[in-house]
Chains A and B, each alone.
Chain A
Amino acid sequence: MEALLASAIGAMTAAAIYLILRRRSFAVVLGTTMLSYAINLFLFATGRLVVDRPPILRAGASYTDPLPQALVLTAIVISFGMTAVTVMMALGAFLEGGDDRVDMPKDDREPPR
């Protein structure tokens, strides 16, 4: 099971990096979404994998580590906020400039003298 999850994390990370390296804003947004899945899963995995022992207290049972879960829970919600802001920025840039490239245009790259 560990190998499955690790390979899934790896595949998602690779896809995320590839998408972030594209030059259009929507691909970058998709890439960051994928990257947050991968990182959330990784953080969650630091609690080690346990099946059928949710951290809901019942007498006498043992439980999985609840702390990574709490961390990841807020991370999921925050990454939604982050995605929303980047989407909005991408949309704003496209509507203002008529172009959805993420790179700075060549003319703007020269540092001001």
Chain B
Amino acid sequence: MSPALIAVLPFLGALLPALLIRSGRDVAAVASATATGIALLGLCLHIPAILSGEVILARFDWLPALGLNANFRIDGLGLLFGILILGIGLLIQLYARFYLSARDDAGAFYTYLMLFQGAMMGIVLSDNILLLLVFWELTSLSSFLLIGFWSHLPEGRQGARMALTVTGMGGLSMIAGMLILGNIAGGYDLTTILAAREAVQASPLYLPALLLILLGAFTKSAQFPFHFWLPHAMAAPTPVSAYLHSATMVKAGIFLLARLWPVLSGTPEWFWIVTLTGLATMVMGAWIAIFRDDLKSLLAFSTVSHLGLITMLLGMGTEGAAIAAMFHIVAHATFKAALFMVAGIVDHETGTRSLARLGGLRRAMPLTFAIAAVAALSMAGIPPLNGFLSKEMMLEQASLTPWLAALATLGALFSVCYSLRFVWGVFMGPPRIDGHDPGPGLWLAPAFLAMLVVLIGLLPNTLVGWLVTAASGTVTAGHPHPHFALWHGLTPALGLSVIAVLGGAALLALGPRGFALPDAKRVFDALTRGAEAAARVVTDRFTNGSMARAFVGFTLSVLLCAAWAFSTGDYSGPTRPMLPIQPVPLIGWAALMIATGGMVAFHRHRMLALVMVGVVGLIVSGMFLYLSAPDLALTQISVEVVTVILLLLALNFLPKRTALESRDRKRGFDAFVAVLGGVGFGALAYVVMRGGFAFPPISEYMLANSYKLGGGDNVVNVILVDFRGYDTFGEITVLGIAALAIFALTETLMTGASAARLAAWQYDMPRAGARHPLMLVVVTRLILPMMLVVGLYIFLRGHNMPGGGFVAGLIVSIALVSQYMASGHAWAEQRNRFPYHALIGAGVIAAGVTGIGAWFAGLPFLTSTFGYVKLPGIEKFELASAMGFDLGVFLCVVGAVMLALDSLARIARAAGGQVSPSPMDVDPSRGNA
């Protein structure tokens, strides 16, 4: 099975539970487990190839220009983690089925779980570090959903937020680190990076990259001082804790350290930072775990401690340490998942996880006791269990350095203490609480893991030796040949181990007293509150609810940036000669200046200002015409018409005059800012127009190929429907969405306070005598067909002459709107057979289908083709597939413009009172109505 498919399968599986939950939680659980199982099977099929040293690759270009490729690989390391993620995932799915209560939404739970599983698989199978980052962020997001699954509990919400904040922050820093790393290595594919060890370590940016990446890994793997989120994440349902904190989420940071080990390790920086962080985390986590009262909290700190242990091993940088780390990853996943499940069972059966209340359950829950004892003794490192093997290997590595050996032994000693306390506190001593063993649904999964704990301890080489060998081979980029055995003779490591076990037991017997550590949550909360307050101060300073203030700030800062950019650039004066000034454009310019000035002067008289806007728009379209842009002139003038109609309709329900309210000084300041902005923008326009092109315009290509490739002479139209068709597709979609938003706004205005206001509307201007003037009605009805024909003509000629879908759509809209204006909304509405929403939808679909049509010819989306058609009776004419696209543009423009105006007209109707559905209709059968 392709590595890509293995990574994607859990995501596909995530769809099933949400859909199938109506058939019951059994079906949902089985469906998600099936997806996991198939992925696991697919992964296992690769085992022989990987053991023989192969790396399975699957490559897809995603965004090659960014170096982001959807490349997947399976090597020894990925195999080990993949088996853990999917294998433990299967057990968790079984356990969760019986753990969740009837009130929990199991469909959502399994969906989140599968999303998380997919994200984890993506991390371990990515062959591209940018892709890996995408999955990395996905694990943060999906674990947020899982940790906060019981969203009715405040601890759940807070824990989820904290986990997201800490790991998300680490993720951000890791993005920066990975970008630096890829930049040094000259590519973002792991294959490239893994081969660039010398270049990376010699680079001056090695240390920043290392620090940033380590920050990401340490936050994810809960290393000191970022360990505090993990215990708070225990508010999650126990299956989530068992999954996230044994085999997956927190191991992602470890995985990353192992993945980048060949590139980053071996330097003193790596050794000191990683080893010391790991060591500190191991000792501190273990010490705190001894004093926790809540079972899950105890396990959480023990997880922190064991993650520290693995981190420390990876920091040492030797082959033996890497092997020990890989072995401990497997061992820890098995016993810790089992212990979490046991904690869940105890909680489920007795109703508490508090060690202060538990005790003496060995008789009542013998099976749970057996599982817990095996797993906890393995955690303590007692032979012949798998935890003993990894602890021996760890101590053997540490014993090479005396101070390291001492601290590592101390960590192991604490570990023995809290492991024994876990078993002792819950199961030994006099019975203090009732309980009994659960059904097989709950104990099967931990029992299976406990069995593995024993078997791996007894037969390490047969069961996991090959897997650990393959994984550590990937990590060290070498060919290790480890041999795992319980008995190595009387080594120093054995001595340290004996000290740890005896010391741990003695410490427990002494009943140690802890000292209060500062509550990390309080510190975290204070920090987030501080950040929030600072953000609020800054935000309030810039936006205090006054739009003018924000806009002035924006204008001035843009001007400042522009002035700074211009003064630091090297501008050497105009290079293009000016065009001569002709009399007609000069008159147009003067009219424009007068209209603009008039608009500012009379803007409080809104009708007059609207007339001025019309004048300005008209002159702008004249400018376009004069300056060789007939298409723009056509579009501008028709848009002008609909805009003025729209504003007129709106003005019907707005005050006709603007009250004077700004003080003189304020207005003077506004005018100053406005003039500054105008002068700046005008000067920029002047400089641009008088300068030459910085590089040859890309439109040379479009001019040269417009006819050859697009089959049209009107290059602007060919660009719109062909060369840049994708942009146009987006634009008509946006236009459609804008119109639908207007429609939705109107719907809300038809109810509530505004509806009441409209119903009692009193027009503040005298009404015209005739609502539907005879001449206007007759003329608009007469010219409707002519206008439609003009629209059709403009549409058809668009490919070769000025015109096209945009202009034609506007012209047809104007034709229709004039009917509304002359004969009334009711009359026009009655005769309208196509709802405007449907026109918008049809337009977008028509454009999309035309684009997809290119796929059938094996060409990319929106590639157009054209040919010539000869029909009897008319001349030979050209038919381009781009016409279908232009038709979509046309429909969308008509639909959007009409829907917007129609919405305003509906408001008018709500306030209008009596309307006649048949103004000026001559129909003898109605009599003299």
B226 interface residue per 8 A CB criterion: no
Quick one: which of B681, B720, B745, B758 contacts A9, CB cutoff 8 A?
Answer: B681
In Å, the complex CA distance between A48 and B555 comes to: 26
- B707 contacts across to A, CB distance below 8 A: 57
A2:B579 contact, CB within 8 angstroms: yes
Which residues of B lie under 8 Å from residue A51 when comparing CB positions?
Answer: 579, 626-628
B745 near A88: Cβ-Cβ < 8 Å: yes
B678 lies within 8 A of A11 (CB): yes
Q: Does B920 have its Cβ within 8 Å of any Cβ on chain A?
A: no
Residues on A with beta carbons closer than 8 Å to the beta carbon of B372:
none
Q: B677 to chain A: which residues have CB within 8 Å?
A: 13-14, 17
Which among A10, A41, A56, A88 is the interface contact of B623 at CB below 8 angstroms? A41
B897 touches A17 (CB 8 A): no
- Return the contact of A67 from the options B597, B653, B697, B896 (Cβ within 8 A): B697
The answer to whether B770 has its CB under 8 Å from any CB of chain A is no
Interchain CB contact under 8 A, A22 and B662 = yes
Contacts of B625-656 to chain A: CB distance below 8 A: 626-632, 635-636, 639, 642-643, 646-647, 650-651, 653-655
A87 close to B896 (CB less than 8 A) = no
Q: Assess whether B731 is in contact with A96, with CB atoms less than 8 Å apart.
A: no
In the assembled complex, which residues on chain A have CB atoms less than 8 Å from the CB atom of B684?
42
Asked if residues B646 and A87 are in contact (CB atoms below 8 Å), the reply is yes
Which chain B residues lie closer than 8 Å to A84 at the CB level?
646, 738-739, 742, 900
| Cα-based distance from A98 to B746 in the complex (angstroms) | 16
> Shortest CB–CB separation between residue A15 and chain B, in angstroms?
5
Docked Cα-Cα span, A23 to B623, in Å, equals 32
Which residues of chain A are near B735, meaning CB under 8 Å? 77-78, 81
What's the least CB distance linking B575 to chain A, in Å?
11
Chain B 745-777, CB within 8 Å of chain A: the 1/0 string? 110110011100110000000000000000000
Q: How far is the CB of B803 from chain A (nearest CB, A)?
A: 11
Q: Is the CB of B600 within 8 A of A19?
A: yes
Would you list which residues of chain A between 9 and 62 have a CB under 8 Å from chain B?
A: 9-30, 33-34, 37-38, 40-42, 44-58
A7 to B684, CA, bound (A): 10
Interface presence of B893 (CB below 8 A): yes
- Give CA–CA (A69, B600) in the complex, Å: 29
* B502 at interface, CB cutoff 8 A: no
Alpha-carbon distance between A19 and B698 when the two chains are bound, in angstroms: 37
* Interface: B516 (CB within 8 A): no
At the interface, yes or no: B690 with Cβ under 8 Å from chain A?
yes
Smallest beta-carbon distance B765→chain A, Å: 15
Contact A15 B599 (CB under 8 A): yes
**Is B719 part of the binding interface, using a Cβ–Cβ cutoff of 8 Å?**
yes
Contact A6 B719 (CB under 8 A): no
Stretch at the interface among B52-60, B256-264, B543-551: B543-551
The CA of A41 and the CA of B754, in the complex, are separated in Å by 38
Interface residues of B in 810-868 (CB under 8 A from A): 810
Given the complex of chains A and B, what is the CA–CA distance between A106 and B627 in angstroms?
A: 49
B586 proximity list for chain A (CB < 8 A): 4
Asked if B727 is at the interface of the complex by the 8 Å CB criterion, the answer is yes
Is there an interface contact between A95 and B653, defined as CB atoms closer than 8 Å? yes
Give Cα A95–Cα B746 distance, bound, in whole angstroms.
Answer: 11
Asked whether B738 lies within 8 Å of A50 as measured between CB atoms, the reply is no
Q: Contacts of A74 on B, CB cut-off 8 Å?
A: 720, 727-728, 731, 806
Q: Which residues of A contact B715 (CB under 8 A)?
A: 55-57, 63, 66
Give the Cβ gap from B713 to chain A, nearest Cβ, in Å: 4
Distance, CA A49 to CA B628, complexed state (A)? 8
- Are B686 and A3 within 8 A (Cβ)? yes
B682 touches A9 (CB 8 A): yes
Q: Which one of B194-202, B313-321, B470-478, B668-676 is at the interface?
A: B668-676
Tell me the bound Cα distance from A63 to B702 in angstroms.
Answer: 11
Cβ–Cβ < 8 Å partners of B682 in chain A:
6-7, 9-11, 13
Q: Which of A6, A88, A94 contacts B903 (CB 8 A)?
A: A88
- Which residue of B is nearest A33, CB measured? B613
Task: Give the distance to chain A from B662, nearest Cβ to Cβ, in Å.
Answer: 7
B661 pairs with A109, CB closer than 8 A:
no
Please report the C-alpha to C-alpha distance between residue A43 and residue B642 in the assembled complex, in whole angstroms: 22
Set of chain B residues within 8 Å of A5, measured between Cβ atoms: 623, 685, 689
Shortest beta-carbon distance from A80 to chain B in Å: 5
Inter-chain contacts of B697 with A (CB < 8 A): 47, 65, 67
A82 to B632, CA, bound (A): 18
Is the CB–CB distance between A22 and B658 below 8 Å?
yes
Q: Which residues of B contact A63 (CB under 8 A)?
A: 628, 703, 715
Known interface pairs A37-B616, A84-B739; A22-B678 also in contact (CB < 8 Å): no
- The answer to whether A27 touches B603 (Cβ under 8 A) is yes
Asked if A50 and B627 make an inter-chain contact with CB atoms under 8 angstroms apart, the answer reads yes
Question: Which residues of chain B from 582 to 600 have any CB-CB distance to chain A below 8 Å in the complex?
Answer: 582, 585-586, 589, 592-593, 596-597, 599-600
Please tell me if B699 contacts chain A, counting CB pairs below 8 Å: yes
Closest to A101 in B: B661
User: Contact between B758 and A85 (Cβ–Cβ < 8 Å)?
Assistant: no
Determine whether the beta carbon of B555 is less than 8 Å from that of A6. Answer: no
C-alpha gap A40/B688 in the complex (Å): 14
B655 x A80 contact (CB < 8 A): no
8 Å CB interface, B725-748 against A:
727-728, 731, 734-735, 738-739, 741-742, 745-746, 748
List residues of A (70-113) whose CB comes within 8 Å of B's CBs: 70, 72-74, 76-85, 87-92, 94-96, 98, 100, 102-106, 108-109, 111
A-B contact pairs, 10 of them (CB 8 A): A14-B678, A21-B551, A26-B658, A34-B616, A38-B681, A56-B802, A66-B715, A66-B719, A79-B639, A81-B739
Q: Apart from A77-B810, A84-B742, A95-B653, list 8 A-B contacts with CB within 8 A.
A: A2-B576, A2-B686, A7-B589, A50-B627, A56-B715, A57-B703, A66-B715, A69-B632
A positions within 8 Å CB-CB of B: 1-30, 33-34, 37-38, 40-42, 44-58, 63-67, 69-70, 72-74, 76-85, 87-92, 94-96, 98, 100, 102-106, 108-109, 111
